[in-house]
Amino acid sequence: MATVRIGTRASALARWQTDHVIALWREREPGLAVTIVDLTTQGDDLPEAPLEVMEGTGFFTSTLERALLEGRIDVAVHSMKDLPTAVTPGLAVAAIPTRGPVEDALCARDGLKLARLPAGARVGTSSVRRTAQLRALRADLDYRALRGNVPTRLSRVAAGDLDAVVLARAGLVRLGLAERVTEVFKVEAVLPAPAQGALALQARADDAALIRRLATMDHEGTRQAVAAEREVLRLLRGGCSVPVGALARLDGAQVSVDAGVFAPAGDRRVRVQVTGASPEAAGAEAACQLLARGAREILAALDRTPKVAGGVGP
């Protein structure tokens, strides 16, 4: 069987994710031969750009997608939340493996939790969604934009440059850094990003044989939950990322979605919980209710226009 070329970003977390996928695949195909192709993305080349305008916009995925379309790689491994909600023509997400932890986590000096940080403590975060929700909990802290890979962010706490950072728990667990976590935020307090903790395995849409092989790693429950969450995002977002959180769960034949839109100042939020018969229905209903209850005004204040398709929303 021919060697499969797997494209990935070169960060430690991206390489862990790729190695994890290879291990899963080899459980199903013990003789699998692979070559890992490291690629630098536009997001990697712009280390100072705010992450909130990069996640979900293709900054971290377009280079890998272009390599797929040009035939330079056969499979791309992505963090699912980095993929734009619009499907790239000619490509398909062949598998979404079982999801990792979904929560956000605090890594603070001296083992402190958020409530125990002193007023004015410097807290680094890469996401306007996180900042908005944290400000609602502790408006007296000094929130600062943060870029860099996971070890780099943690090193700023160790060096005393920051008092704490907030990161996705999944990345910390995957890199063996869970001991650095001083508090895991309950999703009731800090709603995660759509598709947080999930991976996407992407291939060319016309490579049916490879898609069938990748599909053996697909986890149906994760795929349905992620589809519902991304439907919320698809219907709410304009061009740039917006402070939207969503988490879906399967409840028998139903899909329940907890979704919210958060004003960056932390002074206003709209949050709903809905249930639907399908991921798309649940996600669409959540978006509709968010807009009806005031999310449109929050988004308008950000100078972003919510995109509502199929008549969803008032």
Catalytic residue among 74, 82, 104, 258: 82
**What is the SS3 assignment for the chain?**
CCCEEEEEECCHHHHHHHHHHHHHHHHHCCCCCEEEEEECCHHHHCCCCCHHHCCCCCCCCHHHHHHHHCCCCCEEEEEHHHCCCCCCCCEEEEECCCCCCCCEEEEEHHHCCHHHCCCCCEEEECCHHHHHHHHHHCCCCEEEECCCCHHHHHHHHHCCCCCEEEEEHHHHHHCCCHHHCCEECCCCCCCCCCCCCCEEEEEECCCHHHHHHHHHHCCHHHHHHHHHHHHHHHHHCCCCCCCEEEEEEEECCEEEEEEEEECCCCCCEEEEEEEECCHHHHHHHHHHHHHHHHHHHHHHHCCCCCCCCCCCCC
82 is catalytic: yes
Among all residues, which ones are annotated catalytic? 82
